[in-house]
Amino acid sequence: MTNEEIREEIIDILEDIAPDEEMDDLDDEKSFRDQLELDSMDFLDIVMELRKRHRVQIPEEDYSHLASMATTVAYLEPKMRDIAKN
């Protein structure tokens, strides 16, 4: 997957988890928590959706890499590089 495809996938997951949030104005450099009303369970849902949809394993010690869109895409890119978008 390309960086743009990964970003689109993360937005899709966020829209499922927080359907009332506006994703069009998402700032890739700002923390998800600063922009969206996500709690710790929502954050775990993101991790679980990535595992379910793409079999991507994210160890708990790496959760801090998923703070913003930019850091999430950078972290996931090598893990999802060989995954074809459906």
Domain edges within the chain? 3-80
pTM above 0.85, yes or no: yes
Q: What is the pLDDT of residue 84?
A: 64
Q: What would the mean pLDDT of 38-43 be, rounded to a whole number?
A: 90
Distance of alpha carbon 18 from alpha carbon 23, whole angstroms: 10
- Would you say 80 and 1 are in contact if contact means Cβ atoms under 8 Å apart? yes
Just give the CATH number of 3-80: 1.10.1200.10
Which two three-digit tokens encode residue 79? Answer: 């893990």
Q: What would the mean pLDDT of 3-27 be, rounded to a whole number?
A: 93
| pLDDT of 86 over the 90 cut | no
Q: What would the mean pLDDT of 57-78 be, rounded to a whole number?
A: 95
For the chain, percent of residues with pLDDT exceeding 90: 74
